Amino acid sequence: MLSALRLITVMAETGCSLSDLAGVMQVFPQVLKNVEVDASRPDFMQVPDIAGAIDEVRSQLGDKGRVLVRYSGTQPLLRVMVEGPEMRRSKRHAIESAGLFKPIFKCVKIFRKIFFCVYGCH
């Protein structure tokens, strides 16, 4: 709700339509890798190797992409999403990042299936 109100405020302040504002947004392909985890759910950003690797991917992508790593709220999964201008590079980053989590869980199985969420590439 707050996001919608903020968007309406920006539209009113700038006089731009929603399509005008959306036109400046560049959409990149996303790669989602799911890692099956146990119930321990440790704070993975406290593991130096993992935090460093995620920061390195973020650094490589710069302002041309993003990395999101979070636990699922409904399933025993850790989700690694990488978004960037090049599908092949994003896929490599997602697979490598997901692989880092194997040692910190007792029963971890990385799903072999990768879900690609590709939106309106221009």
Tens of pLDDT along 8-65? 999 999 999 988 888 888 888 899 988 888 777 888 888 888 888 889 999 999 989 9
Per DSSP, 39 falls in state: T
Q: What is the pTM of this model?
A: 0.69
Separation of alpha carbons 101 and 37, rounded Å: 9
Q: What is the DSSP string of 46-63?
A: GSHHHHHHHHHHHHHHGG
CATH of domain 25-117: 3.30.310.50
Q: Are strands 115-117 and 109-110 parallel, antiparallel or unpaired?
A: unpaired
Question: Which structure tokens are listed for 32?
Answer: 């989602």
Angle, to 10 degrees, between the axis of helix 87-99 and the axis of helix 48-61? 170
Domain ranges of the chain: 25-117
Higher pLDDT pick, 92 / 105? 92
